[in-house]
Amino acid sequence: MSRIGVFVCHCGENIGRTVDCAAVAQACGELPGVVHSIDYKYMCSDPGQALVKQAVAEHKLDGVVVAACSPHMHEKTFRKTVANAGINRFLCEMANVREHCSWIHEDREEATQKAIDLTRFIVEKIKHNVPLEPIKIPVTRRALVIGGGIAGIQAALDIADGGCEVVLVEKEPSIGGHMSQLSETFPTLDCSQCILTPRMVEVYQHPRIKLMAYAEVDKVEGYIGNFTVTVRQKARGVNASLCNGCGECQKVCPNKKIASEFDAGLGKRPAIYVPFPQAVPNIPVIDRANCALYKGRARNAKKDACKKCEEVCGRKAIDFDQQDTFLTEKVGAIVVATGYQLYNIKKEQDKEAISGYGEYGYGTIPDVIDGLQFERLASASGPTGGKILRPSDGKEPKTVVFLQCIGSRDPAKGIDYCSKICCMYIAKHTMLYHHKVHGGQAIVFFMDIRAGGKGYDEFTRRAIEENDALYVRGRVSKMYRDGDVIKVLGFDTLSGEPMHIDADMVVLATAMRPQPGIESLAQKLSVSYDRFGFINEAHPKLRPVETNTAGVYVAGACQAPRDIPDAVAMASATASKILGLFSASELEREPLVAQVDQGTCAGCFHCVRVCPYGAVEHFEVKDRKGNLIKTVAQVNKGVCQGCGTCQANCPSKSVELQGFTDQQIFAAINAF
Amino acid sequence: MQALQELARKLLTDKTANVVIGWGQGPRGPRPIFVTQPEHADRLIFDTRCVHNLATYLNPRRAHLVPFVKKAVVVKPCDARAVAGLIRETQVKREDVVLIGMRCGGVVRDSDMDGKLTEATVSPRCMDCPDREPKLADHLMGEEASAPPKGKGPDMIAKLDAMSPAERWEFWQKELERCVRCHACREVCPMCFCDRCIADKSMPQWIESSPHPRGNLSWQMTRVMHMAGRCVGCGECTRACPVDIPLGLILRKMTQTVEERFGYRVSDDPTVPAPMGAYRLDDKQEFIL
Amino acid sequence: MAAKTSTDKASFKPRIAAFVCNWCTYTGADLAGTSRLQMAPNVRIIRLPCTGRIDPLFIIKAFERGADGVIVSGCHPADCHYTSGNYHARRRFAVARDVFGFMGIDPKRITFSWVSASEGGKWAEVVNDTTARVQELGPFSAYREMEARV
Amino acid sequence: MKIGYFPGCSLDFSAKEFDTSLQAVATSAGMELEEIKDWACCGATSGHATNHLLSIALPARTLALAEEQELERVVAPCAACYSRLATARHEMAEDKKLFSKVTGILKRDFTNSVQVMNIAELLRDNLPAIKEKVTHPLKDLKVACYYGCLLVRPPKVTGFDDTEDPSSMEEVCRAAGATPVKWNKRLDCCGGGFSLSRTGSVIRLGKEILEDAQAAGAQAVVVACPMCHSNLDLRQKAIAEQTAKPLEMPILFITQLVGLAMGISEQILGLNRHFVSAQPIIAKATVKALPAAREEA
């Protein structure tokens, strides 16, 4: 026979006003198995909780029912209380007589009757509650970081410095990301590469970081603490363990006319290349689409067209037959830090909702460039050696028009959000331009100047007040090429005057978008993303770097447009979350998971089909000699989230969801 | 019939199968027989009186047949659908069974009847059956079959649908009050293979076990729910019922619902996933507020 | 069933069981409470983690135990806390509703609804509509009469 | 295929040649135009600016009449008429309240199901039939296709072509054998309805447009709107006072250009009604194409 205590809360007047709490306590006291039933003004108060604790000891209770507010409000509180009193916390349940009763009814008699019913259900249910212990899952104290930009680098270093191993996967041949392409950074104008390169080297040399550049995540299995990740190491055509990065192969490569990705198409590179001199790792990659040898092999040519790189390589590191390889890594947590791409204004777009800018010529006018291209022009390591020269004819542009919010904040073009960084980097561009081109005029068309951040507004003011940038509040309706100049037709909304500018070059601050392929990666990780492809955080305010999938975290511009300080802060936040997770060798989880009765399971596996998490597995029951008796279902407690869909679908009811077992529900319905 | 016997003899001789499950002549018409010796293969027969669904003997619950491992079964199209169901639900391995498929143009209501197939004698199970030959079979026998004769009598589903809920309740109460809870409907069903049926579960006892109308009703409703998207329409439950409750009626109603809603009809292709346990984002939900 | 007189109907207080998921409808009902939305006092909620956990047996049992009506409610499609429990429930109850109806349980006695955590008002509507509907249908006395028959 | 025809006021009088050339081209290409009986003003000039409800109800009446004539599509050759009709249709489709208000005013059974087309859209959609009838391809003729402001704007209302980089008129001209040039001002405003009230502006805008067309090598400007036509054709004399030498740029309705290529007589096409002579263009079309040349076209 059970020994149940019922505790009816008045919640001040909140319950007591419409529910006769004393009558509820009395009625429940008469239920079989109830040995103690009282009402009290504030059950959740210290004295209220003390009453519960005291009663547990005095009456040797093996079940506590608190008839009070919603379990979403105080279930944790009271379960803690009973745990402190020495009984298992899952032997405490709540009857919701406030939100579901006193607050929504006026008739005292009806409300009291309903409160008695609701409490009775729970009393009957709790007779079948059993003590449950938290599930312990072993944790692999090793993290995977996807993306080797500044966010990924920061996360990897922080986790590794914290003492745990990290696998850093980068899809490009080198880590560094977009930050390595930037000239100077706002608002301090310190050189981007100067602050980034040491961090890249640190990653490379860190004993606890395994760097896998030119690699992509292929498959993700498992769950928090226990992920198994398959990484595809793309074939470089170069044996990384032999190559010493001397660069001779790049010098002899006959095809040097390939648009450099690193220089945003403004510079050239050979078919065998490292993206930039400070690349980490400093090992070249053969661009198979542009290499004569591979092009020939694709056409089934009898003889290889060119092997100059192989001939010149003293280390014999060139390996034309190298294939992609797949590596399996076991990790306990994953950081997604895949960064961004820039929107382009071309007519063809990758998403139907997004359209280009026909009014700006759909990207066909030379000398209309984007922000990253300007960064490369301004960068000392760029194709012009840091001189601002326009791409079409190499002339120094005397009038440069900068347009903000290209794509961003323009629902007609398919993107509603603000890209956040453009106001700042355009201000920076005007400063760099002012310093580099004397007598040049920068004209900026803006919608608003959004310069929220430490030293940010001061920075934009400096661009306007000290660096002679002409800021025009308005948009450009059209631009076209007229001889040597670009005719820019805009409107100054402050003076109300149309503006016709003959520009030598136009820089578009195009929107930040997540990297292509983000959706498929998100699906592999079972994390959700918004309609633009940005990864959703678990809570916009309180869980900004977690995702809805436990063990998967997000940092940087793959979550929303972010500048460098934001991305770094997020990365460090993910690292601290992960180090916290890794601080214990085992993870504790609520034990409200499904459990299979292997004795009665017939192995039809309806449960496997309905499980949203793939938590149900096949299990072979064998006799002592190892002969197979039957194959049954088994729930992986680490993966199960406790929805119970398996149980409702099980014909023989051989699977039970702990905390909501058939016994418990049956008892509650039976009390109806 | 000769071809059937020859094949059975061959399968037993070359040990492709250790037992051939088929029909043989009994005192009151054909009955299931298990042939284990090649020389007994000539006991096998097949005609319109072979009503039993022999797939039920593949069900692992039939402990006495489990040791044979490799089994050959003579199947009509409805039986083949049951075999497919057992394979789909991992109760039978396809490689462990040899299916001797019989082309079928319908069977009579029971095995002790005269085998003549007419509007009056055709089994109700055959009226909705679209299959004339089991596609899953390893060996196909018998002559091209034509569609079975249309049965006589009112369309009971339409008749019940036209009633008020209270009238329908009354109808079923009259039928179910005869139920003695012998569970023959379950025992004969090829798709009922649970080690421990929910009807026998006592903690909690969802379904009262005594032959009380309350338990009888919830037993049948539960049985039909468990059959949703799985019932092969062989009609064996109706035939086995000693008190003649029209169980097939509820199953046919459920089958119609499943087909209308999910576009699914139980077939003998084990690779087609069942509709329950699956979903479409755009499943109809007109009944949900 | 015998015809009910109008006075019977007026004095009849339906008893309705509600099986709801923890994340959407239960929380939506909590919101109705915190918003002090007044509603009929006839519904008794039994909390489950997900509509996917709700077994047709629960409905049968509730009726057997004297419920005059049943509500089953959970998260809207695409909003399931467990991603797809509600989709499985939708199929399950689409069939159950037809089968129960065919066996004589009036489908009007069972309400299926999607009520999200923010739809306190909708929950109040579901409760009031169901109560009014069941009030109109009268008591579900079939099970009680069954006892008399035996 | 029957297509409803809404001529509007311009095509009845000042742009009569647009009407006759369209009728001739349509007949030749097998398009059956059926005029909407009892059509009324579209509300373009002043109506739409005075009262929003009137601006919708006025064209809605015409659309309702078209529905009664069981027409599925209506072509409005004047760009302003097109804009009014298409806007009314769009707004009623988007705003159920507005729609019910309008139907209340019309007191007609109206479902707002008629599709509204402009001339460029109609011709482009019938390119194969047009190509079939081209007997005098306008080889070596360089034309500047001028869309003006309303033909492809706003995108939500028009939607048949790229708003910022349209190509339908160019496709039609190519079908007629002519060579469209690339130029910058094809979507600019000609001054529209300010022809009489702000003549100075119209002359300035017209000058910019025509000079750009000429700089791009165009021998004629092709238009699809009576407003554009009158502003560019009628005002060339005034423009000439501001330029070193007269531009002498023939302005052709797109239907006239297609008609020429089809060998339709210049009287029917109304080419004699223009202020700037189209004679050099007519000359190009007088030589009937050889069969081989037709293939090529």
d(CA B94, CA B83): 9
Subunit partners of chain C (3 or more CB pairs within 8 A): A, B
d(CA D283, CA D297): 18
Region of poorest pLDDT, from A505-509, C6-10, C95-99, D137-141: C6-10
User: Nearest C-alpha of chain A: how many angstroms from B224?
Assistant: 11
Non-local CB neighbours of A484 within 8 Å, separated by 6+ positions: A504
Query: Which residues of B fall within a CB distance of 8 Å from A600?
Result: 194-196
Report the domain count for chain A: 5
- Residue identified by tokens 């339709």 is D264
d(CA B71, CA B99): 9
State whether B195 and A599 contact (CB < 8 Å): yes
User: Nearest C-alpha of chain B: how many angstroms from A81?
Assistant: 30
Is the predicted ipTM greater than 0.85, yes or no? no
Query: Which residues of C fall within a CB distance of 8 Å from A71?
Result: 47
d(CA D151, CA D42): 15
- Spatial strand order of the sheet with A34-40 comes to A34-40, A4-9, A63-68, A92-96
d(CA D41, CA D88): 13
> Beta partners for A596?
A655
**Run of H or E residues at D281:** helix D279-285
Query: Which residues of C fall within a CB distance of 8 Å from B212?
Result: 150
The reply to whether C146 touches chain B by the CB within 8 Å rule is: yes
Euclidean distance between the first and the last CA atom of chain A, given in angstroms as a whole number = 21
In 10 A of CB B13, how many CB atoms?
13
Q: What is the pLDDT of residue D140?
A: 85
Region of poorest pLDDT, from B98-102, B137-141, C67-71, D46-50: D46-50
User: Nearest C-alpha of chain A: how many angstroms from B205?
Assistant: 9
A273 and A335 co-located in one domain: no
For B184-199, what is the mean pLDDT? 92
State whether A606 and B277 contact (CB < 8 Å): yes
For A168-196, what is the mean pLDDT? 95
Residues of A with CB under 8 A from a CB of D: 347, 357-359, 362, 412, 478, 480, 482, 487
Among D293, D224, D251, D287, CA closest to D79: D224
CB of A80 closer than 8 Å to CB of A90: no
Radius of gyration of chain B measured on its C-alpha atoms: 19
Find the farthest-apart pair of alpha carbons in chain D and give their distance in angstroms, rounded.
59
d(CA D269, CA D282): 11
Answer whether residue A475 is part of any domain. Answer: yes
State whether A609 and B198 contact (CB < 8 Å): no
State whether A358 and D184 contact (CB < 8 Å): no
The reply to whether B224 touches chain A by the CB within 8 Å rule is: no
The reply to whether C77 touches chain A by the CB within 8 Å rule is: no
pLDDT tens by residue, A442-453: 999 999 999 999
Q: What tokens were used for B3?
A: 């071809």
User: Nearest C-alpha of chain A: how many angstroms from C37?
Assistant: 5
Q: Is the confidence at residue D280, as pLDDT, over 90? A: no
The reply to whether C16 touches chain A by the CB within 8 Å rule is: no
Find the farthest-apart pair of alpha carbons in chain A and give their distance in angstroms, rounded.
97
Q: What is the pLDDT of residue D287?
A: 56
Can you give the length of chain C in residues? Answer: 150
Subunit partners of chain D (3 or more CB pairs within 8 A): A
Nearest to A605 among B90, B195, B278 (CB): B90
Work out the burial of residue A353: count CB atoms within 10 Å of its CB; fewer than 13 is exposed, 13-18 middle, 19 or more buried: exposed
pLDDT tens by residue, A188-230: 999 999 999 999 999 999 999 999 999 999 999 888 898 999 9
pLDDT tens by residue, A132-169: 999 888 899 999 999 999 999 999 999 999 999 999 99
User: Nearest C-alpha of chain B: how many angstroms from C126?
Assistant: 8
A440 and A380 co-located in one domain: yes
Residues 136-175 of D with CB under 8 A from A: 155, 162-165
Subunit partners of chain A (3 or more CB pairs within 8 A): B, C, D
pLDDT tens by residue, B36-79: 999 999 999 998 999 999 999 998 888 888 888 899 999 999 99
Domain end, chosen from A476, A493, A513, is at: A513
- Residue identified by tokens 């309008």 is D102
d(CA D230, CA C87): 63
Q: Is the confidence at residue D296, as pLDDT, over 50? A: no
Answer whether residue A303 is part of any domain. Answer: yes
Work out the burial of residue D29: count CB atoms within 10 Å of its CB; fewer than 13 is exposed, 13-18 middle, 19 or more buried: buried
Residues 143-162 of B with CB under 8 A from C: 160-161
Report the SS3 class of residue B134.
coil
State whether D162 and A482 contact (CB < 8 Å): no
Q: What is the pLDDT of residue D286?
A: 60
A349 and A461 co-located in one domain: yes
Non-local CB neighbours of C127 within 8 Å, separated by 6+ positions: C16, C18, C39, C40, C42, C43, C71
**Run of H or E residues at A423:** helix A422-436
Q: Is the confidence at residue C1, as pLDDT, over 70? A: no
Chains C and D touch each other (3 or more Cβ pairs < 8 A): no
Residue A539 phi/psi, 5-degree rounding, is -150, 130
Cis peptide bond upstream of B204, omega within 30:
yes
Residues 258-277 of B with CB under 8 A from C: 258, 261-262, 275-277
Within A545-587, residue ranges assigned H as helices are 564-582
Interface test with A, best of C53, C86, C92, C131 (most A CBs within 10 A): C53
In 10 A of CB D11, how many CB atoms?
22
Indicate the residue type of C119: E
Report the SS3 class of residue A471.
strand
Non-local CB neighbours of A628 within 8 Å, separated by 6+ positions: A620, A621, A622
CATH value at residue C32: 3.40.50
Answer whether residue C143 is part of any domain. Answer: yes
Does the predicted model carry a pTM greater than 0.80? no
CATH value at residue A295: 3.30.70
Answer whether residue A270 is part of any domain. Answer: yes
pLDDT tens by residue, D71-96: 999 999 999 999 999 999 999 999 98
Chain A residue with CA closest to B273: the answer is: A609
A244 and A390 co-located in one domain: no
Nearest to A652 among B90, B195, B203 (CB): B195
State whether A610 and C88 contact (CB < 8 Å): yes
State whether A99 and C88 contact (CB < 8 Å): no
Within A466-602, residue ranges assigned H as helices are 518-525, 564-582
Q: What tokens were used for A76?
A: 């944790």
Chains B and D touch each other (3 or more Cβ pairs < 8 A): no
User: Nearest C-alpha of chain A: how many angstroms from B204?
Assistant: 5
For residues A248-283, one letter each, b for 16 or more C-beta atoms within 10 angstroms of the residue's C-beta and e for the rest, the string is bbbeebebeebebbbbbbbbebbbbbbbbebbbbbb
Answer whether residue A491 is part of any domain. Answer: yes
Domain that holds residue C113: 14-148
The reply to whether B203 touches chain A by the CB within 8 Å rule is: yes
Region of poorest pLDDT, from A319-328, A355-364, A527-536: A527-536
Can you give the length of chain D in residues? Answer: 297
Interface test with C, best of B249, B264, B285 (most C CBs within 10 A): B285
For residues A199-215, one letter each, b for 16 or more C-beta atoms within 10 angstroms of the residue's C-beta and e for the rest, the string is bbebbeebeebbbbbbb
Report the domain count for chain C: 1
Nearest to A482 among D162, D164, D184 (CB): D184
What is the CA A167 to chain-centroid distance, rounded? 17
The reply to whether B250 touches chain C by the CB within 8 Å rule is: yes
- Residue identified by tokens 């479902």 is D111
- Domains, chain D, ordered by start: 2-119 (1.20.1050.140), 135-296 (3.40.50.11810)
Interface test with B, best of A652, A656, A660, A662 (most B CBs within 10 A): A652
Domain that holds residue A552: 145-221+329-339+515-581
Chain D residue with CA closest to A479: the answer is: D184
| Residue C138 falls in which region: left (phi positive, over 0), alpha (psi -120 to 50) or beta | left
A492 and A387 co-located in one domain: yes
d(CA A649, CA B89): 13
Within chain C, residue ranges assigned H as helices are 6-11, 25-34, 56-64, 85-102, 120-137, 142-149
d(CA D288, CA B30): 91
Non-local CB neighbours of C18 within 8 Å, separated by 6+ positions: C43, C44, C45, C46, C70, C71, C72, C73, C127
pLDDT tens by residue, B69-126: 899 999 999 999 999 999 999 999 999 999 999 999 889 988 888 888 888 888 888 8
For B214-230, what is the mean pLDDT? 93
Cis peptide bond upstream of D154, omega within 30:
yes
Q: Is the confidence at residue A525, as pLDDT, over 90? A: no
The reply to whether A622 touches chain B by the CB within 8 Å rule is: no
Subunit partners of chain B (3 or more CB pairs within 8 A): A, C
Can you give the length of chain A in residues? Answer: 672
User: Nearest C-alpha of chain B: how many angstroms from C114?
Assistant: 6
Domain end, chosen from A581, A604, A636, is at: A581
Q: Is the confidence at residue B263, as pLDDT, over 60? A: yes
Work out the burial of residue D96: count CB atoms within 10 Å of its CB; fewer than 13 is exposed, 13-18 middle, 19 or more buried: exposed
Within A479-525, residue ranges assigned H as helices are 518-525
Q: What tokens were used for B8?
A: 């059975």
Euclidean distance between the first and the last CA atom of chain C, given in angstroms as a whole number = 16
Interface test with A, best of D153, D158, D164 (most A CBs within 10 A): D164
pLDDT tens by residue, A402-428: 999 999 999 989 999 999 999 999 999
Q: What is the pLDDT of residue A625?
A: 92
CB of A42 closer than 8 Å to CB of A50: no
State whether A652 and B91 contact (CB < 8 Å): no
DSSP E strand boundaries for chain B: 19-26, 29-35, 44-45, 71-75, 97-102, 139-141
